Amino acid sequence: MARKQVTWGGRFSAGPAQLMQQFSESVSFDSRLALFDIAGSQAHAAMLAHVGLITARECAAIHKGLEQIRREIEAGEFAWDLALEDVHMNIEHALTLRVPAAAKLHTARSRNDQVATDMRLWFKAACAELRTKLHGAQCALLDVASANAGVLIPGYTHLQRAQPVYLAHHLFAWMEMLARDCERFERVAALANWCPLGSGAIAGTTLPIDREHTARLLGFVDARGRPQVTQNSMDTVADRDLFIEFANACALVGVHFSRMAEDLILWSSSEFGFVDLPDAFCTGSSLMPQKKNPDSCELLRGKSARLQGNLHTLLTLTKGLPLTYNRDLQEDKPPVFDSFDQVAICAEVFAGTVGGLRVNEAACAAAVADPALLATDLADYLVERGVPFREAHHAVGAVVQLAEKRGVALNALETREVKKINAAFAEDWREVFDLKRALAKRSGTGMPGPVQLRRQFARWKKLLK
Ligand code: ARG
């Protein structure tokens, strides 16, 4: 016989079927909200005492009981019961067994505004934690960039060699991506910073509560310490935008890591040979003894699919859902928790992989030595001599074609040959092919020249410390 549900069983003559319990429980995943749930309950109780709905003594008993439960949970000694459905009812039930006043805790509160509060607290903490993890990945990047500050590689467009850049400039492109990800989490945390408590199940309460008081206690305050409470009780219990924003921020981290991972996979292939990935983040083949596979990078690439899937799950979950709360919404947590877990470990694995990277300077130097990478500089040379860029581009195209026909490097052609193509070519035309000089000329903001690179090193050092 199914036991009657204590929390809401009043109007039921029988409890849920075993199968229904198993189907509808969420404590197996929402127990990770426990500490936020306790903090929320303590603030709620304090507010109830503040407005006189419970006595100070009752409030103190509730606080003490919750502290005890917190310690048990932290020690792994708390007995979670699937029959009690979720984290909220597990904790309230345990509290009720110890503290008679616990029967008053749910005054002017519903699990709908309770779970919204727990999640908003969780999002604030989760965003801060992921920012720390991404910061770790950025520090690892800065270290590799510093250790290889003089290394040049070809930059690619269409996966064809395009123009020379410092390896550090490429790594700093990754830094920018991660910096935007950090900012995104900061924005999501700001969106989370509004207190739902007091919205009740859908329509607030008839009791004289003080929402601002609870918000202040829970740290839902603006920069000047003023409480921030949500402004519409129906929206508050129905809204899951924040979940989607968080999953979106995570999905973008995934996309970013997948692109960096792909570069590393290419660079570590024999075809490129620019880098050696650390053994500790690679695996071998059970059949081919010579293989060293870039598995950490491949998984970083693969995890992005999962992170996008989580975002999609949440969009689909909320699409067309009538206002306000529907039990469907319980399914909002697994994708969010999974996105958090995956981004956290991705950032660590990325930092580990990058941290153990060895740059093969000879291979990089050989790849970047092709004078054709400076064909655009040669066009700029003509521009400096008054040739319109379109014409200069065409002339250099003809120079490239001639070199190809001859089977020689671009700068191996005779001066009189290039002069025939465009009269603006002078004796000094080969100076263009000095790589150092070519990079030095790229001195504008955002460009890969050494002056800018020094500025970027200084900037990142300052930002990351
Ligand atoms: N476990 C539920 C969830 O995560 C809590 C809210 C339950 N509310 C309700 N009306 N049954 O969505």
Q: What is the pLDDT of residues 194-236, one digit of tens each?
A: 999 999 999 999 999 999 999 999 999 999 999 999 999 999 9
Query: Is there a domain that residue 231 lies in?
Result: yes
DSSP letter (8 states) at residue 329? G
Q: Could you report the per-residue pLDDT of 89-106, keeping only the tens digit for each?
A: 999 999 999 999 999 999
Minimum-distance ligand 1 atom for the alpha carbon of 86: 1
Question: Could you tell me the end-to-end alpha-carbon distance of the chain, in angstroms, rounded to an integer?
Answer: 61
Q: Whole-angstrom Cα distance, residue 28 to residue 294?
A: 34
Mutation test of ligand 1: which of 12, 112, 120, 321 has the most ligand atoms closer than 8 Å to its C-beta? 112
Residues 207, 293 within the same domain: yes
Residue 16 in domain: no
- The rounded Å distance from CA 185 to ligand 1 centre is 26
Active-site position among 13, 158, 270, 286? 158
Same domain, 377 and 361: no
Q: How far apart are CA 181 and CA 134, in angstroms?
A: 8
Give 2's pLDDT tier (boundaries 50, 70, 90).
low
Please indicate, yes or no, if residue 5 is contained in any of the structural domains.
no
User: What is the reported pLDDT for 3?
Assistant: 62
CATH number at residue 442: 1.10.40.30
Assigned domain for 10 exists: no
Do 378 and 335 lie in one domain? The reply is no
What is the residue with the minimal CA distance to atom 7 of ligand 1? 111
Give the residue among 362, 370, 366 at the shortest CA–CA distance from 408.
370
Question: Do residues 145 and 63 share a domain?
Answer: no
406 and 334 belong to one structural domain? no
> Could you tell me the two tokens for 361?
């300077």
Residue from 7, 80, 86, 332 whose mutation best tests the ligand 1 pocket (most atoms within 8 A of CB): 86
Q: Among the three residues 344, 365, 386, which one is the final residue of a domain in this structure?
A: 365
Q: Report pLDDT for 70.
A: 98
A 10 A CB-CB count for 283 gives 13
Ligand 1 atom with the smallest distance to the CA of 329 is: 12
- Number of domains composing the chain: 3
Is pLDDT at 309 greater than 90 in this prediction? yes
Q: Which of 365, 383, 412 marks a domain boundary?
A: 365
Domain match, 381 and 339 both: no
Reference 243, options 166, 168, 334, 172; nearest CA is 334
- 12 located within any domain: no
Do residue 376 and residue 247 come from a single domain? no
Do 87 and 142 reside in the same domain of the chain? no
Q: 324: which 2 tokens?
A: 């306000």
- pLDDT (0 to 100) of residue 1: 39
* Confidence at 284, pLDDT banded by 50, 70, 90: confident
Cβ neighbors of 6 (< 8 A, separation 6 or more) are 84, 93
Nearest Cα residue to atom 5 of ligand 1: 111
The verdict on 379 and 351 lying in the same domain is no
Look up 24 and say whether it is catalytic.
Answer: no
Distance CA 461, CA 15 (A): 61
Is residue 8 a part of any domain in this protein? no
Looking at every residue in the chain, the average pLDDT score rounds to 96
378 and 349 within one domain: no
Same domain, 242 and 331: yes
Give per-residue pLDDT as tens, 27-81.
Answer: 999 999 999 999 999 999 999 999 999 999 999 999 999 999 999 999 999 999 9
Residue 15 lies inside a defined structural domain of this protein: no
Q: How far is the CA of 215 from the centre of ligand 1 (A)?
A: 21
Q: Position of tokens 């207190």? A: 195
CATH number where 352 lies: 1.20.200.10
What spacing in Å lies between the alpha carbon of 29 and ligand 1's midpoint?
13
Q: Which residue out of 5, 327, 332 has the highest number of ligand 1 atoms within 8 Å of its CB and is therefore the one to mutate?
A: 327
Q: In the numeric block, which tokens belong to residue 355?
A: 């941290």
Residues 150-196: pLDDT tens digits? 999 999 999 999 999 999 999 999 999 999 999 999 999 999 999 99
Q: What separation in Å is there between the alpha carbon of 341 and the centre of ligand 1?
A: 23
CATH of the domain at 102: 1.10.275.10
Q: Is 158 tagged catalytic? A: yes
The predicted pLDDT at position 4 comes to 60
**Omega of the bond prior to 230 within 30 degrees of 0, cis?**
no
d(CA 357, CA 351): 10
Q: Please identify, among 347, 365, 383, the residue that sits at the C-terminal boundary of a domain.
A: 365
Q: Give the side-chain half-sphere CA count within 13 A for 328.
A: 17
Residue 262 belongs to some domain of the structure: yes
Q: Which domain holds residue 412?
A: 369-464
> To the nearest whole percent, how much of the chain has pLDDT over 90?
94
Indicate whether 127 pLDDT > 90.
yes
118-137 average pLDDT score: 98
C-alpha span between 72 and 366 (Å, rounded): 62
Q: Are residues 374 and 412 in the same domain?
A: yes
Q: What is the pLDDT of residue 273?
A: 97
Is the pLDDT at 414 greater than 70? The verdict is: yes
Using a 10 angstrom Cβ sphere, with 0-12 exposed, 13-18 middle and 19 or more buried, the burial of residue 382 is buried
